[in-house]
């Protein structure tokens, strides 16, 4: 996962409140379930002496966002009394997580969030398309009505002239090109990582062929959906979720291969001591986060310098003033140096639950 989405957290001032919960809307009582979860979150925050303005900011953000369709999770991170990050997750966490700490906790987003901060859905037909840009916490929708006309071929009783057929085909192509132009603009504007195309097979294929290669390479044609009434939204969401999960598995597989290849060559390290050292040097290309559990690191008073233990920090000329959770400190330090973040699965088991693929071999650094 690219770290640019977390950049606002690096410059924000704590303390931070990090919340993750099941935000699914797949039952008739979804609204009542959300109310219950928010009451539970409020209680936990009150028990940790969180200010009422912070609690209200969280409640307002959650209720004001576009509700998801089907199974979904929610991530909300607050710095001070300002909501800095608010995202839907592909999958909900198994239990509600509420943390109040010096640093934000982003691991559940790395595990369950979208790899990219946005994707497009395009329901296309011969007359145009309905397009929606899905960001982490909102959806922007619009319609493209093509200028091409007519788009229906003459019936046999109307003469079935060759010229009219040509006019229809050209009108449809014109409309599809207009959709392709708009899709390309929205991809460039939003930074969308995927474009999901739904509709009849012919319209889907023609739109894909009209897209520039850099956009078409990230286009996925869906079997379900379309502009017609009666679309099974649950089926479409299932297809989208499966593709997003496939994309995540591909990213994990790539990191696993690079980590395995880097072992013994100086291009990969593991364990708290070596990974924190690589983060301090700015050498980490991809931080690999496994089961860190309750491991901690130490930091100076300004949280600028971290190390695996107090002796190492002292050797660096800093006083070990703070003890931090490793699963909070390491990811944020990785974000600060623009490193990518990957949550491990069974393919990787680095020492201490943390590893890194490096930008350059350790022995080549100054």
State in words which class domain 4-112 has: alpha beta
What CATH code would you report for 250-364? 3.30.1330.30
* Residue 256 reports pLDDT greater than 60: yes
What is the mean pLDDT of the segment spanning 109-124? 89
Specify the higher pLDDT residue, 361 or 263.
263
Question: What pLDDT, on the 0 to 100 scale, is given for residue 80?
Answer: 87
Question: What pLDDT, on the 0 to 100 scale, is given for residue 36?
Answer: 92
CA torsion sign for 95, 100, 103, 104 is positive
Question: What pLDDT, on the 0 to 100 scale, is given for residue 364?
Answer: 42
By percentage, how much of the chain surpasses pLDDT 90? 60
Residue 365: pLDDT band (50, 70, 90) is: very low
End-to-end CA distance of the chain: 28
* Residue 152 reports pLDDT greater than 60: no
Question: What pLDDT, on the 0 to 100 scale, is given for residue 146?
Answer: 74
Residue 234: pLDDT band (50, 70, 90) is: confident
State in words which class domain 118-231 has: alpha beta
Question: What pLDDT, on the 0 to 100 scale, is given for residue 69?
Answer: 67
What is the mean pLDDT of the segment spanning 92-110? 94
| pLDDT tens string 304-324 | 899 999 999 999 999 999 999
* Residues 183 and 131 sit within 8 Å (Cβ to Cβ): yes
pTM, whole model, 2 decimals? 0.82
Q: Could you tell me the residue ranges of all domains in the chain?
A: 4-112, 118-231, 250-364
* Residue 161 reports pLDDT greater than 50: yes
| pLDDT tens string 122-137 | 999 989 999 999 887 7
Question: What pLDDT, on the 0 to 100 scale, is given for residue 63?
Answer: 85
b/e map 58-95, b = 16+ CB within 10 Å: beebbeebeebeebbbbbbbbbeeebbbbbbbbbbbee
């Amino acid at each position: 996962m690219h770290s640019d989405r977390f950049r606002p957290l690096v410059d924000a001032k704590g303390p931070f409140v990090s919340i993750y919960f099941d935000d699914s809307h797949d039952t008739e009582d979804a609204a009542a379930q959300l109310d219950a979860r928010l009451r539970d979150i409020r209680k936990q925050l009150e028990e940790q002496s969180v200010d009422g303005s912070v609690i209200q900011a969280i409640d307002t953000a959650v209720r004001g966002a576009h509700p998801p369709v089907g199974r979904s999770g929610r991530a909300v991170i607050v710095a001070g009394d300002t909501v800095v990050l608010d995202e839907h997750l592909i999958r909900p966490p198994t239990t509600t997580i509420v943390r109040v700490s010096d640093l934000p906790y982003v691991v559940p987003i790395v595990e369950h969030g979208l790899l990219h901060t946005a994707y497009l859905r395009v329901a296309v037909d011969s007359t145009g398309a309905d397009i929606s840009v899905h960001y982490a916490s909102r959806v922007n929708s619009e319609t493209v009505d093509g200028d091409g006309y007519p788009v229906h071929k003459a019936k046999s009783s109307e003469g079935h002239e060759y010229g009219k057929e040509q006019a229809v085909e050209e009108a449809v192509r014109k409309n599809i090109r207009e959709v392709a132009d708009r899709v390309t603009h929205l991809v460039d504007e939003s930074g969308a990582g995927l474009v999901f195309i739904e509709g009849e097979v012919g319209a889907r294929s023609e739109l894909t062929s009209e897209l520039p290669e850099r956009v078409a390479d990230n286009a996925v044609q869906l079997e379900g959906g379309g502009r017609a009434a009666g679309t099974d939204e649950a089926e479409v969401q299932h297809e989208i979720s499966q593709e997003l999960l496939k994309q995540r598995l591909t990213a994990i597989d790539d990191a696993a291969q690079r980590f395995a290849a880097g072992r013994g060559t100086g291009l990969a390290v593991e364990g708290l001591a070596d990974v924190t050292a690589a983060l301090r040097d700015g050498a980490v290309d991809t931080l690999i986060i496994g089961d860190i559990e309750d491991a901690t690191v130490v930091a100076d008073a300004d949280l600028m310098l971290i190390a695996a233990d107090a002796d190492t920090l002292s050797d660096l000329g800093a006083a070990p003033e703070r003890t931090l959770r490793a699963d909070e400190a390491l990811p944020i330090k990785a974000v600060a140096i623009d490193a990518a973040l990957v949550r491990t699965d069974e393919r990787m088991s680095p020492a201490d639950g943390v590893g890194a693929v490096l930008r350059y071999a350790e022995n080549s650094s100054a």
